[in-house]
Amino acid sequence: MDKIKMTTPIVEMDGDEMTRILWQMIKDDLLLPYIDLKTEYYDLGLEYRDETNDQVTIDSANATKKYGVAVKCATITPNAARVEEYHLKEMWKSPNGTIRAILDGTVFRAPIVVKGIDPCVKNWKKPITIARHAYGDVYKGSEMKIPGPGKVELVYTAGDGSESRELVHDFTCPGIVQGMHNINKSIESFARSCFNYALDTKQELWFATKDTISKKYDHTFKDIFQEIFDSEYAEKFEAAGITYFYTLIDDAVARVMKSEGGYIWACKNYDGDVMSDMISSAFGSLAMMTSVLVSPDGNYEYEAAHGTVQRHYYKHLKGEETSTNSVATIFAWTGALRKRGELDGNKELMEFADKLEKATIDTIEGGEMTKDLALITTIPNPVVLNSGDFIKAIAKRL
């Protein structure tokens, strides 16, 4: 059999710990036998990040800007314990944060829906994709504890020195205060990424804030989305047969619970932080969530939503058997291959991505799965496979 040819490389970002082990297995058993795989390889494993003073992370993000499609393995974000464990020169920043800052994108997280791994919300039939705005608000807030009586004001000093003021509160007793911001440019990028991704995946887009209470802050989000939609996307949405829907956040939450799924829910930074964990746990497992960073100028970086599965890695190092779920990492690869195929007009590559996803889902629905899924499945007598055998079972179906 001739292997599938590729014309443009995918940017490959290798990672750490157990997911690095899965990464190689996926390539060896599921990709290399079928595809003449073209990648530009960047080793984002912590040792090499340290060796290159994290330059490799920056290079990989710039390569993504050049080629348009990347696939990333989970990576360690160092903390004090990791600095000691890996004898690091510095506590390097989160690679995802660095990449996101360079690509300026929005992260879309979606569950992989499989029969037999049923969501707790019984009417959810299709995935709900969360788009989280990843800039500003409470994450870049300034706060103060107010010790006693006194006035707190917001003060804006313009370039020419003129001031405008807004009273926050006239305190008569101790309390607390918080100031936060966002910038129109970032909200515009967020809106465009959401509209583009909705068109890309042919799904409805929902967006919700608390604009009835926050008449300037949240209302600006609402207005920017509406202006960009009306001027740049309304016709394209109509042609694609999808809609953009704005509502209040409390109404959105109520509708989400009663919905079937099958749409993108765009959330402000904090709402997205909270809601994405609700969605992933309600759909069953963090190991079944994919994640894609979409930049407003059309670059895509695919990854699993989970981390490096550190606990399994230490077992693996001790020579013990692991049963680590590789589904989200496989779907990161299929996402990247499909997008690369789409951009290059490479139908075979797109079809291969579909087949690999189907083989993965069929394997689980056929009763063969990793331990995390076996614990929650409604399929009777599931066969629990170890990390390698699960991937081999998928290869057999493929």
Known binding-site residue numbers for Mn(2+): 250, 273
CA distance 176 to 251: 29
325 lies in the site for ligand NAD, by CB under 6 A: yes
Contact indicator for 116, 251 with CB cutoff of 8 Å:
no
Contact indicator for 383, 397 with CB cutoff of 8 Å:
no
75 lies in the site for ligand NAD, by CB under 6 A: yes
106 lies in the site for ligand NAD, by CB under 6 A: no
Angle at 113 between CA 107 and CA 114, to 5 degrees: 150
74 lies in the site for ligand NAD, by CB under 6 A: yes
Stretch that binds ligand NAD, among 24-32, 71-79, 188-196, 335-343 (CB under 6 A): 71-79
Nearer to ligand NAD, 94 or 184 (CB): 94
242 lies in the site for ligand NAD, by CB under 6 A: no
CA distance 55 to 100: 15
Nearer to ligand NAD, 84 or 260 (CB): 84
Residues tagged in the binding site annotation: 75-77, 82, 94-100, 109, 132, 250, 258, 273, 307-312, 325
Nearer to ligand NAD, 69 or 373 (CB): 373
Contact indicator for 167, 173 with CB cutoff of 8 Å:
no
357 lies in the site for ligand NAD, by CB under 6 A: no
Binding pattern for the stretch 207-226 against ligand NAD, x by CB under 6 A and - elsewhere: --------------------
Under DSSP, the state recorded for 198 is H
Options 228, 372, 377, 391; binder of ligand NAD; rule CB under 6 A: 372
310 lies in the site for ligand NAD, by CB under 6 A: yes
360 lies in the site for ligand NAD, by CB under 6 A: no
Residue in 59, 63, 57, 105 with CA at minimum distance from that of residue 78: 57
385 lies in the site for ligand NAD, by CB under 6 A: no
Stretch that binds ligand NAD, among 30-38, 141-149, 302-310, 377-385 (CB under 6 A): 302-310
Tally Cβ neighbours within 10 Å of residue 219.
15
Please name the residue that has the structure tokens 């099958």.
262
Nearer to ligand NAD, 346 or 387 (CB): 387
Options 228, 309, 336, 364; binder of ligand NAD; rule CB under 6 A: 309
Residues tagged in the binding site annotation for NADP(+): 75-77, 82, 258, 307-312, 325
- DSSP E strands, the chain: 10-14, 39-43, 69-72, 106-111, 128-132, 137-146, 150-157, 163-171, 175-181, 204-209, 244-248, 263-267, 289-294, 300-304, 368-369, 383-384
393 lies in the site for ligand NAD, by CB under 6 A: no
76 lies in the site for ligand NAD, by CB under 6 A: yes
CA distance 292 to 327: 15
Around 163, how many Cα atoms within 13 Å sit in the side-chain half-sphere?
Answer: 5
Stretch that binds ligand NAD, among 193-201, 205-213, 249-257, 308-316 (CB under 6 A): 308-316
- Name the burial class of residue 226, with classes exposed (0-12), middle (13-18) and buried (19+) by CB atoms within 10 angstroms of its CB: middle
By CB under 6 A, how many residues form the interface with ligand NAD?
A: 17
Q: Given the rule CB under 6 A, which residues bind ligand NAD?
A: 74-77, 96, 286-287, 303, 306-311, 324-325, 372
